[in-house]
């Protein structure tokens, strides 16, 4: 299966504007991460946040170089973006935005939110974070400013200690304890990942031979 993401297009992001929506902005959820690979826990969290907070859309924004992880990303940005596209295309309210990949360098959420709020200030942005991200958010670059540019949303995990330093909207979601690290290890050891990732993503991983090393 060939890549479905065309990196030759304009290296920007189409942001819904006031004119597009008859004078009102949209409620946009933002989910960032390496998505290496995207899995069902990502999608469930996005869906729960979108429906419970009545968001218009959720944007998945893959990192170029994550600031909080030491291990290098061994597969291409094109592969990660293509898997995101495959995983989200059946949901008309999910979008994949590649602005951090096109921007290059280390991907800081504050840079993305400064861009989005300047480009379309009429939109309201909700930064959706998992439990581990909630507890480390105060260490993110320019966290104080970031908390003012968007509404912080935490996905609550039962039994997981939460220590947020900032005001947070909490969303309850099914407790799916799954990580991209687990998916990669499963593939490397020949363990099935069926039903852990969307089936088009599983087939892409198999056909491309990803994560086998």
pLDDT in tens, 133-178: 999 999 999 999 999 999 999 999 877 778 889 999 999 999 898 9
| pLDDT score of 5 | 64
CA-CA-CA-CA torsion sign (108, 125, 79, 47): positive
Mean pLDDT of the chain: 90
With H, G, I as helix, E, B as strand and everything else as coil, classify residue 29: strand
> Which helix (H) or strand (E) is 48 found in, with range?
helix 40-52
88-99: pLDDT as tens digits: 999 999 999 999
pTM here? 0.89
Q: CA-to-CA distance for 14 and 12, rounded, in angstroms?
A: 7
Alpha-carbon gap, residue 163 to 135, rounded angstroms: 5
Residue 23 reports pLDDT greater than 60: no
6 falls in which pLDDT band (50, 70, 90)? low
DSSP state of 180: H
Residue 205 β-bridge partners: none
The CATH number of the structural domain formed by 24-178 is 3.40.50.620
């Amino acid at each position: 299966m060939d890549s479905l993401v065309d990196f030759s297009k304009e290296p920007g992001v189409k942001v819904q504007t006031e004119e597009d929506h008859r004078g009102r902005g949209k409620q946009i959820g933002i989910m960032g991460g390496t998505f290496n690979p995207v899995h069902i826990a990502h999608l469930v969290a996005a869906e729960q946040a979108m429906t419970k907070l009545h968001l218009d859309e959720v944007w998945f924004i893959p990192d170029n170089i994550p600031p909080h992880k030491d291990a290098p990303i061994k597969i291409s940005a094109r592969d990660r973006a293509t898997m995101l596209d495959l995983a989200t295309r059946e949901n008309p309210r999910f979008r994949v935005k590649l602005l951090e990949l096109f921007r290059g360098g280390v991907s800081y959420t504050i840079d993305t939110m400064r861009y989005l709020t300047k480009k379309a200030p009429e939109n309201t942005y909700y930064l959706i974070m998992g439990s581990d991200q909630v507890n480390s958010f105060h260490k993110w670059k320019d966290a104080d400013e970031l908390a003012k540019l968007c509404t912080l949303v935490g996905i609550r995990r039962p039994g997981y200690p939460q220590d947020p330093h900032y005001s947070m909207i909490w969303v309850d979601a099914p407790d799916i304890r799954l990580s991209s690290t687990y998916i990669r290890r499963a593939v490397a050891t020949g363990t099935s990942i069926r039903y852990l990732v969307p089936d088009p993503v599983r087939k892409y991983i198999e056909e491309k031979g990803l994560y086998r090393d």
